[in-house]
Structures are given as C-alpha cells and as structure tokens.
Amino acid sequence: MEEIQYIGEHLLPGQIGKACVMLSFAAAVLAAVAYYFATEKRETPEADGWLKIGRTAWTAHGIGMFGVVSVLFYIMINHYFEYRYVQSQVSADLPFQYIFSAFWGDQEGSFLLWLFWHVVLGFVLIFTAKKWEAPVMASLSLIQIVIVSMILGVYVGFGADALKFGSNPFDLLRDTMEAPIFAQADYVTLIKGRGLNPLLQNYWMTIHPPTLFLGFASTSIPFCYAMAGLWTREHQAWLKPVLPWALFSGAILGTGILMGAAWAYEALTFGGYWAWDPVENMSLVPWIILVAGIHTNLIARSAGYSIKATYLFYAFTFIMIVYSTFLTRSGVLGDTSVHAFTEMGLENQLVAFIGIFFLQTMWLYFSRMKGIPVKEKEEKAASKEFWMFIGSLVLLFSAVMITASTSLPVYNKIREVFDPLFEGRTIADAVDHFNKYQLWIGVFVALLSGTTQFLRWGGKNWDDKRRKKFMVRMGAAFIVSAALTGLLCLWINATAWQYIVLLFSGVFAIVTNADYAIFYARTNLKATASALSHVGFGVLLIGIMASGLNKRHISTNPFAQRDMGLSSEMLDKNVLLYKNFPMYMSGYRVTYTGDTLVGNDRRYDITYEKLDSVGRVTEEFAVRPTILYDNALTKVAAYNPSTKHYLHKDIFTHIATIAEREADMEVRKEFEDTLTHYRYDLPYDTPLSVIDTTRKKGPDGTPETYYLKHEIELIEITESPNRPDYEPEEGDRIIGAKLKITPQIADTVFYANPMLVLRGARVYTYPDQIDPINMRLRLHPDLIDLTFPPESALNYEAKTFGIGETQTIGNLRVTFQNVFSNPEHPSYVAQEGDLAVGGNIKVENLSNGVTEILQPLYIIREGRPFVVKDSDNRTGAHVLFESINPATESFALRVAEAPATQNIVPLEISTKSYRTDYIVLETIVFPGINLVWLGSIMMMVGLTVGVFQRKRGI
Amino acid sequence: MKKSHIIAIVMIVAAIGIFISSGSDMTTFSTFKEATATQKVVKVSGDLVKNKEMYYDEQENPNLFTFYLKDSEGQERKVILNNAKPQDFEKSENIVVTGKMQNDEFVATDMLMKCPSKYKDEEIYVKSKETASIMN
C-alpha cells in the first residue's frame, strides 16, 4: 500500500510524550536496581553511591512522569483528535473544568494518576525515610516499573504473535483502528472528539478519582515497608515508621471510598450510597485489611505479638488493591458492575501484575519466616493485645467473605475453562447476601472495640479488684446502651432481632468509647484518635440502620396501598406530575412548576409543601433534579437527583422518566412528522369552533369517542415579538396573533401566541401548544401575504407635511403629528452612531372608520439615510419617510393604501398533539443519613489525628 | 493450644459453614418453566422479544411496565414490572428479572439490563455529513 502523506497532524507532542514514557520506564528500572544494591550493600562504602544513583534515577523518573502528564494535558486542551485517547475523551465543546475528568476518565489516564501519586510519595520518602529509604524505594520502584509497563504500548515479537505491553495514551487514532477515512490525507480536519461520557461530567469526577488513587498509591508504602522489614530482617524496627503511613493510607483510602459513596448518593439514581457493587467491594476490602494491619501493628509495637500478621496484612492490602485493579480493568466483571472500564486487552499483564507482587511477598515472607520474632508466651485472656488480635481476625474474616462473593465471576471464568458447559453462578440478591453476613462483622467489631479499650497491654495488674472494676464499668455501659437502644427503636423501625443486636452494638461502641475518651484522654493523648474512630464506627452503624430500615418512598401513598394488601415490594414508587398541577402524596403537596435548559442540563423546579392535618402549609421547599442530555442534545444520557437535606433526614428526589418525545429528539421528530394539522380561517371578529375527538373508556370498559368543541377567538394581531424563544435579527418582519381558546370542558380559558417571522425570503413558524387540551396552533404562511402585501401591489403617493398638518390621500386621512428621537421598531436594531427619528402619524381610514397611529423611521447610519416602513393592516395604510428637511421642518412621506384584504387569520390546528409537560417522579426519605456521613468522617478524622500523633512519636 | 488458635479455628469453621449456607444465595438463572413449577422468587435471564408489545403509558400508570421476554429455552412470557420503564430499555440485549410467576405472567420486583454501552463503540465521529458517513 502506498504511504499516505498526512497533513494537519501534530506529531511532535506525541513523540515527546512517548519519549517521556520510555524515560520514566528506564529510570524506574535504574532506580530499582540502584536501590536494590543500596540495600544489599548497606553498611559498606558502596551503598552511598548506589543511593545517589537511586535518587537521581527517581528524579529522572519523576521528570519523565511529569512530562507524560503535561503532554497529555497539552494535547487534550488543544483538541488534537488524531490521538486516540484525546478523541475518545474530549470533544470541542467540552467545558474546560472537565478536562481533568477527561484526563483520568479511562484506563491510561487513571494509571497515570496512580503513577503520579507514587512519584510524589516517593519524593516524600526520599526526604523522610532515612535508613529505610533504600529498601522501601526499591520496592516502590518495582511497582512503578510494573505500572508504567501498562502504558508502554510496546510490542514484543513479530506479526500476529507479538505480545502487547501496555496501551500508550499517545497512540494515534489511525494506528489503533482501521477506517476508510484514513485514506484521506486531511482526515484530521474531518474528525471530531467523542467527548466525555455525560455521566462523568460532574464535579465528583474531578475530586473522587484523585483522592481514591492517592489512597491506592498510599497503600504501596506500608507494603514497601513490610517488604523492606522482611528483606533487611529488621522485623521490629520497621513497625514504627510504617505506622503513620498506614494511618495516612487508611484515612485517604477511606475518604476516597466515602466520596464514591457520596457521589452515588448525590448524583446517581439508584437511591443509596452503597450497593455492594463489585468495584465498591474491592476498594473496601483493602481498606478493611489495612485497618486490621494497623491494629496488629499497634499490638506488635506495644506487646511484641502479631509481627507476622502485620507483615501479611500490609502486604495483602496492596495485593488486594492490585486484584481490584485486575477486576475493574480486565473486563472479567462484564456487566455486573457500573464501574468497569473499557477493556484494554491487557488481561494477562494485569494477572502478571498480581503474580509479581504475590510472589515477592511469598518469597520474602517464607525465606525470612524463621527469623521473625515470636513470643513464646501466650497472650493473656484479659490483655488488650489478645482481643485486638481477635478484632483483626474478624476484619480479615469480613475481607475474605466479601472477596469470595465478589470473585464469583472469576470463579465462573475458571470453571468455564475446564467445563465449557458450566453455567455461571450469580448472587441472587447481592445487597441481601452481603448485609446478612457483614451485619455480624459490625456487631463483633463494635462490641470488641468497646470492651478492649479498657484492657491493658499484657493484662497488667489484672487482679480481682481490677476485674471487678472492669465488670462494673462494662455492666453500666451495657445497661445504658440497652436503654438507649430501646429509645432508638422508637425511631428506627428494626424489623428483625438481628437489627436490634446491631443497633445495640453500635450504641455500645459509642457509649464505651466516649467513656474511654472522657476518662483517659486527659492522661493518654493516643486515646483521642482511637476513641474518635471507634465512636465514629458506632455512629456509622446507627446511620446505616436508620437510613436503610426507615427508608421509604413518599412519591406515592403507601398507607393507602398497604391497606389494599399489596406487599411492600409491589408498592408504587413513582407518581406522575403535570406541570403546574399539584399532586398530593404522603402529606405533601408537590408541584412541578417549570424547567430550564442550561448547557445540556435540564433543571426541573419542583416545590414541596408540607401540609398539616387541616391542610395548612407548614413548610415549603424546592428541589431541582436534573436531566442530562448527551453532548449533541438529542437524547437523555442521565437522570440526576436532587436532595433536600435536613439534620435528621434527607428527602431524595429524582425523575424516573419524562415523556419520550422530550427524552429522545428522534422520537419527537417522528411524532411531529405524523401530526396532522387542519386549516381554519379565523375571522377577525367572529369566534370559531374547533371540534376535537377524544377516546375514553366508557362504563363497560370499551373505548368510546367523545366530541369536544373548543372556541377560538382572535384578541389581536401584533407585529411585536411575543415569544421568548425568538431571537431578533435586523430586517425581520414579525406577525403574531394572540388567541383566546375556551375549551368545552375545562373551567378556564387559555391564551396562545403563535407567531410567524419573515426573514429574507424564508418564513419561520413558531407554533404554540396548549397542553391541557393537547392542542397545537400555528399560523399559516398565507398570513404573510395577507398582512404584508408585496410592494408591487402598492401604489405610493408622495406628499410633504409640516408638523400637525393633515392631508387626505385616497381613503386615508393622514395627520403628521410630531417627530421623536430614540424610536423603536421590530425590524430596527439600533447601532452605535445611528441618528434615528420616528414620526407619529395618525391615519384614519375613511371607508371603515378605523384610526391608528403609525410610526415609520428615518435613520442616518454612517452618513447614509435609510428608512423603515410602518404599516397597519386594519387601516391598510403603508407609510414611510422619503426625506426630511430640518431647515423648513417639512417631511416628505410616501403613503399607500393596501388593497382591501379579507380580515381573516389562517390557522393550522392539531388536536392530537399530546402533552409532554409532565415528569414521573420518585421521592425517597432517608432518615438519619447524616449519621452515616458523620460516623464515616469521624473515623477518617480519627485516623488522621493518629497520623500526627504517631509521627510525633507520642 | 493457644486461645487465638482456637478462635481462628472457630472462624474457619464458621467461614466454611457460611460458604455452604450461602450456596443458596448463588443461583444459576431459572427458566419460566422452572418458575412456574416452583412458584418461588427466581431470577430469569432472557432476551427482549422486540416484535411483541411493550407497554408503558406513564399518563395512565407510571408504575406499570410490561414486555415480553424469551428465556434460554425459548419460552416467551409476559413480564410485569411494578416500576417506571428504564431509560434505553429497547437497546438492552439481555435482561435479568427477579420475581415469580402469577397466572402465566411473570411479576417482576427487580430488573437488570445489560446494554451495549454507547460510549464504548469503536466509532470515529466525523464533523459533517457531506464528507463521510460515520464509520465503524
């Protein structure tokens, strides 16, 4: 094939970008080697040299990464659509604030985000890790090598058997796919960007991924420390410096997960913050293991037990992060998750990713196992370390359970390899399945957290007196918690005993930990962080129970329906709301008052009025759920909720669906094409009847046809625009009609304002719709000829007037009243520097007695005069200036009388233009949801406080 | 034996117990035939029958949506969903409904659709119609 010389491509940035990828890959390899030798040859004179090489290599790696990120931003901002990644993520109309979202919207960009954070954390380590720098950075460099390989885009081997390593964000579109358009040398000028998925055009997409990936990246540090501890056989020394990193990671990863939950709740419509989606699960699992690791780390520091467990927990935190990366990015989850990325064809590489770090862990662990100190003496039953370790095991248990269930698609895939007939299993009800088992994890963790706080390391001084004190304290906490749980049950509808147990556990965790904080925080500052986190966990549990169990739909009348014997699952969830037509539901009067389109966001205004028993409005608020159209504004892409927040509950509202003709422009066009209009000639002064047929179900259920008579009357003909959707242009001639419609059945009258615009030689029609009677009215273009007779049909006569002078021209008695400045006319748009005057000219038609004031204009623009005619079709007068003589104050006018017209307005009416001004609304109340957020935030703050305390070595 | 070992063993036993008991949570997909036989809540996976009536009239009842589904054995049944018609329903390739049979109709409480995502298409968007059609 002949090589095509493409024009208009920007190849240089891509070349620089690819070079930066190569540089950062090579530098990571060099850093890994250098840090490896710096570790192996520690305490020899050579070590220093290796360390310097390692640092330099890491700096080079960082520069390379910085280059990759900058170039990718550069080509995205400049819309270089010849690059595949740019073409798939950006479009010319993408608002700038979403460039970041577009950057990490797909595989390569999110790998880059992850790499970027590793670079940053690596520099922090270089400056702070001291003697741990070399072994820790060696592992971190290895991680970087593996992740950079994901964006290498290098083929090893030849032909069809070539192995692909990574997917490069700087690949050209024409190199990654085949299409006939690439036969054109100037294809760059023809293509456009696909644009960011509208679901991701959201500020959560700007803040959630960076936080989550910082969380991901931060789990690497405890992993690297664990590897370093094993490698250098310093099984005790690493436990101290790793702790702040682990706490930091727990806080950031937790915040990242929490943001995901908040995003789901605030912006998606599944009506909740956690759905046990595989991707959610697999970000939670590493966090749970990490928290278990933090606890064994504390045990190991204070009591000397659990060092092995700490190694394994920190190692598996990172390995589970990699496993979750595999699940989300390999396509193995298929359609079971909403989060899955586009497949990249790198499944094997992702499996290798897991394999490498699993093997690294296993090899180091088993080769060093014998040397890891183990305390021979067993923990005392009344010691803090024993119960904390049990708590960590419970957490591990939870992680194993979640992982096992979530990995079902992987299990299915493996079974299918051996048995092609194997039918894949799925979890029948994921939410139910996970809640059922994880509930007990919550119970154990909450109870353990409360009791263990009051035990001492090594079970010190555990005598009868202390045991008695402990028992009294726990007994008191038990009684207080039981009483509080009883009170809570008045609010929370705990339908099963298991829920009451969980509630009690949550309350118990709060009571005991608060007690602990009050009595011990003064003497032991570490208590604050721990107590805060554990109280937070208790609060979270209560929040989950309250918002989950008391969640109810109010977009319906549940009590009435329950009386009808419907099961709760079969209750209606949605109501239909017509515009400006209030609807009563569950104690509220709800009205949809209108909507506005901003960009591709359509916002609906919905007001809620809470009514008391006698129907008085006690409270009023508005919500604005939105509908997001796709980038071309042709189809709805997403429905976004709106929530009214209270301290004690949320009212969550979203639009379930809208009329199909509003949701899909293709459907609308099809419908409009099939709509039949009938012509009616409406006389100026006599109302006209329009017959409408409607079919309704008769008493026996068979459809019957009804006839309805609507009366239409002309109020006025106007030449001023009366439509908000009309944008004036100079030279437009406008004719609009104001019509009054009196329907036969409704007890109200409607007004319609159809309009025609004559712009150049084209006629634009602005129809009007009266939704309650499904009527669409438009003016027939014949009205133009009736209103604006062609100039050739007019017989002008020139006359000169003084101010106040009256002359008779044919049937018209014309009085020149006066002139005025700053005139206005529908077909005149004032410009800077215009000299414009208007005349008030009274015209009386002597044959029909109609009198009107006409206002023609005389304008001098850029030294040249031009005029704007005024006309009136009731008098039939057409008047324009010919010239003005300022010296004599005389005005030359040209006046013509239009030939007599029929005084009719030709209308086209369709009575089958069904209304689309309605929405289907779903409203859910989540009581106590703020406890979920409050509890989670307390846990994160507790972890963060821990970071600073451990950093200062308290 | 250490206490923590005993507890660990108890947990492992519990885990095995849970795995066995949770086997009932894991299902293969049912067919309409089986659903008729058991009269219990099951999951049926199938394809939308595109040439049969799909009914949703939000102005009549915003909580009633019916359509026909063909299960893996080729059996077609009417499915009644007590909720609004989901967005892009027509495009779905595969549908999983949870519910039970009632007089030859499948009353669904939950529905999951598998849609070919429109954002994953391998498409080049071309600027104007004159130059070229959209290519696959």
What's the pLDDT band for A500 if we cut at 50, 70, 90? very high
Q: Which residue of B has its CA nearest to A572?
A: B63
CB-closest option in A177, A393, A569 to B11 = A393
For residue range B15-44, what is the model confidence (pLDDT) as tens digits? 788 777 777 777 677 888 888 888 888 888
Angle at A890 between CA A885 and CA A892, to 5 degrees: 85
Whether the predicted pLDDT of B121 surpasses 60: no
Q: How far apart are the first and last CA of chain B?
A: 67
pLDDT tens digits, one per residue of A267-286: 876 678 898 888 889 999 99
What does DSSP say about strands A191-192 and A163-165: parallel, antiparallel, or unpaired? unpaired
pLDDT at site A368: 94
Residue of A nearest to B9 (CA): A393
User: Can you tell me the mean pLDDT for A833-850?
Assistant: 86
Cβ contacts of B83 on chain A, cutoff 8 Å: 573-574, 656
| CB burial string A892-914: b at 16+ within 10 A, e below | ebbbbbbeeeebbbbbbbbbebe
The band of A900, judged by pLDDT with boundaries at 50, 70 and 90, is low
What is d(CA A577, CA A560) in angstroms, rounded to the nearest whole number? 19
Please give the DSSP secondary-structure letter assigned to residue A378: P
At residue B118, the pLDDT reads 38
B126 touches A at CB < 8 Å: yes
Q: Is the pLDDT of residue A801 over 80?
A: yes
pLDDT per residue as tens digits for the range A126-142: 999 999 999 999 999 99
Cβ contact (<8 Å) for A437 and B18? yes
Partner-chain contact A393 B8, CB within 8 Å: yes
Q: Amino acid letter at A244?
A: P
The DSSP line for A874-917 is TTTEEEEEEEEETTTTEEEEEEEEPPP---EEEEEEES------
Cα–Cα distance for residue pair A93/B134, rounded to 1 Å: 19
**pLDDT of res. A848:** 79
Interatomic CA distance for residues A764 and A778, integer angstroms? 11
A63-89 confidence digits (pLDDT tens): 999 999 999 999 999 999 999 999 888
Give the class (CATH, top level) of B27-114.
Answer: mainly beta
Question: Pick the residue with more confidence: A423 or A783?
Answer: A783
A302: amino acid identity, one letter:
S
The pLDDT of residue A534: 95
A425–B28 C-beta distance less than 8 A: yes
Size of the A and B interface in Cβ pairs below 8 Å: 127
CA angle A265, A268, A271 (to 5 degrees): 55
> Is the pLDDT confidence value at B130 over 50?
no
Angle value at C-alpha A660, between A656 and A662, nearest 5 degrees: 90
pLDDT value for A124: 97
Q: Two tokens at A499? A: 């829920």
Chain B residues within 8 A of A432 when measuring between CB atoms: 25
B6 touches A: beta carbon within 8 Å: no
Which residues of chain A neighbour B98 with C-beta distances below 8 Å?
Answer: 428-429
Domain ranges of chain B: 27-114
Most confident of the ranges A50-64, A751-765, B112-126: A50-64
Distance between CA atoms of A654 and A271, rounded to whole angstroms? 9
Residue of higher predicted confidence among A865 and A27: A27
Per the rule left: phi > 0, alpha: psi between -120 and 50, beta: everything else, A43 is left
pLDDT of residue A803: 87
Identify the helix (H) or strand (E) that includes residue A860: strand A857-861
* DSSP assignment string, A310-365: HHHHHHHHHHHHHHHHHHHHHSTTGGG-SSPPPP-S-HHHHHHHHHHHHHHHHHHH
What is the tens place of the pLDDT at every residue in A338-378? 555 666 678 888 999 999 999 999 999 999 999 999 888 88
Contact at CB, A389 and B4, closer than 8 angstroms = yes
Model pLDDT for residues A223-272, shown as the tens digit of each residue? 999 999 999 999 999 999 999 999 999 999 999 999 999 988 888 766 78
pLDDT value for A540 = 96
Parallel/antiparallel/unpaired status of strands B76-81 and B105-114: parallel
Region B56-71: mean pLDDT is 87
Question: Which residues of chain B have a CB within 8 Å of the CB of A197?
Answer: 119
Among B51, B55, B38, B50, which residue's Cα sits nearest to residue B101?
A: B38
Helix-strand-coil split of chain A, %, nearest 5: 50, 25, 25
Minimal-distance CA residue of chain A relative to B116: A335
Residue keyed to tokens 């954002």:
B119
Chain B residues within 8 A of A379 when measuring between CB atoms? 2-4
Residues of A in contact with B85 (CB under 8 A): 657
| Residues A516-543, mean pLDDT to the nearest whole number | 87
Question: Contact at 8 Å (CB) between A270 and A638?
Answer: no
pLDDT of residue A296 exceeding 90, the answer is: yes
A292 band by pLDDT with thresholds 50, 70 and 90: very high
pLDDT for A699: 63
Instruction: Write down the pLDDT at residue B129.
Output: 34
The pLDDT, as a whole number, for residue A932 is 95
Q: Side chain identity at A926, as an amino acid letter?
A: F
Mean pLDDT value of segment A315-338: 84
Burial status of residue A506 (CB atoms within 10 A of its CB: 0-12, 13-18, 19 or more): buried
Q: What is the pLDDT of residue B127?
A: 52
Q: Do A573 and B135 touch (CB under 8 A)?
A: no
CB-closest option in A335, A569, A920 to B58: A920
Q: Do A401 and B15 touch (CB under 8 A)?
A: yes
What pLDDT is recorded for position A476?
95
Q: How far are the Cα atoms of A263, A331, A552, A926, A953 from residue A649, in angstroms, in the given order?
A: 18, 38, 11, 5, 41
Which of the two residues, B5 and A596, has the higher pLDDT score?
Answer: A596
Q: Can you tell me the mean pLDDT for A858-862?
A: 85
Average pLDDT over residues A117-125: 97
Token pair in block for residue A924: 């859910």
Residues of B in contact with A87 (CB under 8 A): 124-125
Q: How far apart are CA A743 and CA A732, in angstroms?
A: 34
Nearest residue to A847 (alpha-carbon basis) of A876, A804, A878, A872? A876
Of the ranges A289-293, A831-835, A899-903, B32-36, which one carries the lowest mean pLDDT score? A899-903
Contact A916, A662 (CB under 8 A): yes
β-strand B94-102 against B42-48: which pairing, if any? antiparallel
Q: What is the pLDDT of residues A657-700, one digit of tens each?
A: 888 888 888 888 888 888 888 888 888 878 888 877 766 666 66
Q: Are A511 and A484 in contact (CB under 8 A)?
A: yes
CA distance A790 to A808: 23
Taking contacts as CB-CB distances below 8 angstroms, the residues of chain A near B102 are: none
What is the length of chain A?
A: 954
Per residue in B65-114, pLDDT (tens digit) is 999 999 888 889 999 988 888 877 877 777 888 888 888 899 888 787 76
Question: Which amino acid appears at position A207 of this protein?
Answer: I
Average pLDDT over residues A384-411: 91
More confident residue, A535 or B110: A535
**Closest residue of chain B to A436, computed from CA coordinates:** B22
CA distance A948 to chain B (A): 32
What distance in Å separates the CA atoms of residue A444 and residue A433, rounded to the nearest whole number? Answer: 18
Model pLDDT, residue B119: 39
Task: Return the pLDDT at A587.
Answer: 85
Query: Which residue shows structure tokens 């976004």?
Result: A640
What is the pLDDT at residue B132?
A: 33
* A335 contacts in chain B (CB < 8 Å): 94, 114
Which range scores top for mean pLDDT: A157-161, A501-505, A561-565? A501-505
Q: Is the Cβ pair A429, B25 closer than 8 Å?
A: yes
Tokens of A858: 């005389």
Given pLDDT bands bounded at 50, 70 and 90, which one contains residue B122? very low
Please tell me the predicted confidence (pLDDT) of residue A430. Answer: 78
Strand partners of residue B41: none
Chain A interface mutation, best of B19, B58, B94, B102, highest count of A Cβ atoms under 10 Å: B58
Judged by phi (left if over 0) then psi (alpha if -120 to 50, else beta), residue A506 lies in alpha
Q: Tell me how close the Cα of A381 comes to any Cα of chain B, in angstroms.
A: 8
- Give residues 385 to 404 of A whose Cβ lies within 8 Å of B: 386, 389-390, 393-394, 397, 400-401, 404
Helix (H) or strand (E) holding A309: helix A307-330
**From CA B3, how far away is CA A950, in angstroms rounded?**
30
Average pLDDT over residues A463-486: 93
Which alpha helices (H) appear in A430-525, and where do they start and end? 430-452, 464-491, 497-520
Going along A85-229, which residue ranges are E strands?
154-156, 163-165, 191-192
DSSP letters, B28-82, are: PPB-HHHHHHH-S-EEEEEEE-TTS--B--TTT-TT-EEEEEEETTS-EEEEEES
User: Could you say which of B8, B62, B114 has the minimum Cβ distance to residue A335?
Assistant: B114
Whether chain B has a CB inside 8 Å of the CB on A815: the answer is no
Q: What are the helix (H) ranges across A521-621?
A: 526-549, 558-563
Q: Render pLDDT for A916-935 as a digit per residue (tens, 0 to 9).
A: 888 999 899 999 999 999 99
Q: Which of A410, A430, A415 is nearest to A333 (CA)?
A: A410
Is the CB of residue B28 less than 8 Å from the CB of residue B43? no
Comparing A840 with A699, which gets the higher pLDDT?
A840
- Which of A106, A175, A564, A574 should be substituted to probe chain B, the one whose Cβ sees the most B Cβ atoms within 10 Å? A574
Arithmetic mean of pLDDT over chain A: 87
| Listed residue (A606, A646, A608, A644) closest to A627, CA to CA | A606
Higher pLDDT, A725 or A799: A799
CB A608 within 8 A of CB A624: no
Looking at the complex, does the CB of residue A573 fall below 8 Å from at least one CB of chain B?
A: yes
Contact check, Cβ <8 Å, A386/B3: yes
Chain B residues near residue A189 by CB distance under 8 angstroms: 127
ipTM field: 0.79
DSSP structure string for A749-785: -EEE--EEEEETTEEEEE-EEEGGGTEEEEE-THHHH
Q: What is the pLDDT of residue A343?
A: 65
CA atoms of A262 and A937, how far apart (whole Å): 12
Residues 7-66 of B with CB under 8 A from A: 7-8, 11, 14-15, 18-19, 22, 25-29, 43, 58-59, 62-63
Q: What is the pLDDT of residue A153?
A: 86
